[in-house]
Amino acid sequence: MGGILIEFQTKGCQEIFTKLRVDTCYSGTAKAHALSSTTRYHRPGTSVGLEPITNLQEPNMEIHEKESQYLPQVLLLKPPPDFELFGEEAFPSEKFQFLKVWKSTLPLDQFLKTHAQSVEAILSSGGAPVTAEILLLMPAVRLVMTTSAGLNHIDIAECRRRGISIANAGNVFSEDVADLAVGLLIDVLRTVSAADGYVRRGLWTAKGDYPLGSKLGGKRVGIVGLGSIGSLVAERLVTFGCHISYNSRTQKPSVPYPFYSSVQELAANSDVLIICCGLTEETRHMINKDVLSALGKEGVIVNIGRGAIIDEQELVRCLVQGEIKGAGLDVFENEPDVPKELFAMNNVVLSPHRAVFTSETFQDRQKLVVANLEAFFSNKPLLTPVVDD
């Protein structure tokens, strides 16, 4: 039989008992692990005592390893960015443990088959798609938890068919993404990054003042996708004096902004188009040649949604030929590959898909992921379930 847990009261945790290793002490209560349930302990002066023994090598480690055998397993297909930034203890919990595919030398399909009946949840980041093939090999899975707000890396239809719940990051990223959208727009209009490079290369001294930028206030801004992120973008830009209109799957009666059912019509009535919607089969390449032409030569486009929402080849062509004025891009169609034509363009601001990359938001996300997984394994409602419209 494995180790047993013994609790006893101490005075400041000063008493040391052979064969017991004190782990923590809170308000005078020490928790100690006994190595074996077969040993009888007797403390001098009481009816229960201790017998000295030897061979006390790493008892706590052994016990934790035994205890972890009984924790529910959460499959991790690839290390999430949190592991690189915060270490592998980024999602701390005593109610589940991670099963890390990359730690095994087995081929993926063999590894999944080995753990097919023990894994009930998958934690996925955008770089680790959850496909129908993976779900086929993991019949016990009942939850897919993603670290992102977007779901384009998850086979939603297959999850629904199998009765698998989905949870995402909810609105935890919304403010940071909205901030970056506004930042990219200001950068493009006021040429902040381009002017910075101008100064650093010594051109201010050699060539004089940098060319004029464009004012943000008064711009007509069309927002594609007025969800939590799009709404926050709108709120921020209203304070700059911008005029907001939007396109969404359905009109929202509670908002005061003009609604356009056609993205092309929205573009035709906007100076700026900001992409805030998710990537689906319906939105893939939604921003095409016709939409970009409707935006026009003075138009600016900002994308903080997903790269493939814009026909990237058509966007590059429009920028090269001067058919639109500029772009601020945080996402790309084939990340991390970015069209090389964009590198030399001062009217294009590039960001490596980092709209959510703040330490505060990452820590909030970690707490949310843990809370969702712990709720799932405790048979409680998920905090941020993905519900079909």
Residues marked as catalytic:
306, 335, 353
Going from the C-alpha of 237 to that of each of 84, 229, 244, 307, 357, the distances in angstroms are 34, 12, 8, 23, 22
Whether the CB-CB separation of 144 and 130 falls below 8 Å is answered with yes
Instruction: Provide the token pair at 359.
Output: 């330490």
**CA atoms within 13 Å, Cβ hemisphere of 13:** 14
> 302 - beta bridge partners?
274, 328
Measure the CA–CA gap between 384 and 299, rounded to whole angstroms. 36
Measure the CA–CA gap between 77 and 138, rounded to whole angstroms. 12
Type of residue numbered 242 = C
Query: Which DSSP symbol is given to 101?
Result: G
Measure the CA–CA gap between 82 and 371, rounded to whole angstroms. 16
Instruction: Provide the token pair at 294.
Output: 């409707």
> What is the distance in angstroms between the CA of the first residue and the CA of the last residue of the chain?
51
